[in-house]
Every structure is written in structure tokens, then in C-alpha cells.
Amino acid sequence: MSTFTSVVCAGFLGLCSVSSAAWAQGISGDVGAGLSYQPHDPTGSRYETRPVPYLDLDWGDVSLSTDDGLTWSALNTHGLTAGPYINYLSGRTSNGALQGLRNVSDMAEVGGFVQYAPADFWRVYAQLGQAVGGGHSQSGTLGKLGGELGYPLGGGIIGSTGLVAHFADARQANTFFGVDNNEAAATGFRPYNAGGGLQNVTLSQSFAFPLAPHWALLTSASWVHLVGSVANSSIVRQAGEVNQGQVQTAISYTFD
């Protein structure tokens, strides 16, 4: 079993064991499947279409979602929740324009979150975590600070707007945006050492269209703007994009 798989399994079992009462309450939420058209890697070197699951499930204080991963609300009072989480971090296959750069392993992100959501239709949150299970020098610190607002649009259609700032330390930034001397000689990219701090700002707009009882069509579009040190990476300047987009669509089933 790989280190990444071991970490994910251990985190899943750990979170579930501390909230066994949640299972007795039953599962509620949404589950589905769809497609995403998105950058191949954070530098935006090319785009690709990927099948993606859609999950937004709750078992009492334990939640599993496509965006936030597996979370346990150890603190849950008056709209304020906080606790640990584990999430999936996609790696990078260095082919095409990135041929000659090192591959980046799939990893897990383990950390803690705090969220304030006094009503179902809006929330603000922060996360701080550590990437684990990667290769040498590929496991750094990551953070998020964001907010989301939902609203009805009539005819059962629900809209949602989100804004998220992503942060990373220098080690994690260099995982995708750095170029060492050996890679520079193999690729033609200028040597580059990325620094830590704010990496990107992501603005997203989503809609849920009812199709039938319990069934909905979900759509989402996101704009990602790289900033600071990562925006100046030689990979981004020579082969990628500072401004990137992503669109997703899925069919979901809601159950209580």
C-alpha cells in the first residue's frame, strides 16, 4: 500500500472513530458524478477533461465533500464549527510542455479548519494543513481563507458565489512552480525558486437546476488568478497561464 493511500485510510478511520454516534444518525446530502474541464496542473500548462465525483454528505458532525474532503466538526456551537480534516491533493504528470520536470505525487492534505455559518446559505472559513505522502521536497504547508454565499433564483434554481485565497509555504510552492538547475538543463525553463505566501485567488459561480424530485443538474465555473511568486515562475511565464479557468457539470441525487 502506498504512503498516500495509508495516510488517507488512517485519516478516514481516525475521523470516523471519534464520531461513531454520527453513523447512527444516518447519512444525508448529495452524491453524483460529472465532468470537469480544468488545467492539467497549477501552472496552467494545458487543459484536460476529467471525470469527477460529486459529494456533499453529512453524518452528524462528520462531513465528506468534493471541495473540503473529510471533516469532523469537533466544535459545533451557534454556527461556529472547527476540527480536523483530510483532503486529496492531485499531483502532476510532467509530460507535454512540462517534459523534463519532476513528476509530483498525489498527496493527502491533513490539517484543521474553522468555519462560521450561522445560516445554510452563507459561510466564511479558514484552513491550515500539511501536504503528506509526496516525494522528496514535495510536502509543504497550505492554507485557505474564503467565503461562500448561496441564494435562490426562482423556479427552484439555487445560485452560489465563492471567493477563496490560497496560500502555501516556499516548499509547497516549489513543488509545482520551482525549477532547479537539472530541470532547467532538461527543459529550457529558466531556473526558478518560488517563495511562500499568497498563491492565487479563486472566484467561482455555481448553479443547481432541479430536474426531478431528488435529482439536480449542477454547474460551476471558476476563475483562478495566480499572484506573487508563483505568477512569476518561469514555467508559468514560458508555458502556463496567470489567469486560468475551470468548468464543471454533474448530475446529483439528494437523499435525507
SS3 154: strand
Q: What is the structure's pLDDT at 173?
A: 95
Closest CA to 206 of 11, 34, 44: 34
The domain that contains 102 carries what CATH number? 2.40.160
Q: Rg of the Cα trace of the chain?
A: 19
Distance CA 141, CA 134 (A): 12
Domain tally, the chain: 1
Cα 55 to Cα 103: distance, rounded to the nearest angstrom: 28
Which cell numbers hold the place of 230?
508563483
- Secondary structure class of 20 (helix, strand, coil): helix
Determine, yes or no, domain membership for 10: no
Q: What is the dihedral of CA 114, 117, 120, 123, to 10 degrees?
A: -80
Is residue 162, in this structure, part of any structural domain at all?
A: yes
pLDDT, one tens digit per residue, over 96-151 is: 999 999 999 999 999 999 999 999 899 999 999 999 987 767 789 999 999 999 99
- Structure confidence by residue, pLDDT tens digits, 211-243: 999 999 999 999 999 999 999 999 999 999 999
Per the structure block, which three cell numbers stand in for 190? 529558466
pLDDT-derived band at 19, boundaries 50, 70, 90: very low
Distances (CA, A) of 243 to 42, 91, 143, 198, 223: 11, 20, 20, 15, 7
| pLDDT tens string 25-49 | 588 999 999 999 999 999 999 999 9
Full domain range(s) for residue 209: 28-255
Q: Is residue 12 part of a domain?
A: no
Say if 5 falls within a structural domain. Answer: no
Please give the Cα distance from 21 to 29 (Å, whole number).
Answer: 17
| This model's pTM is above 0.85 | yes
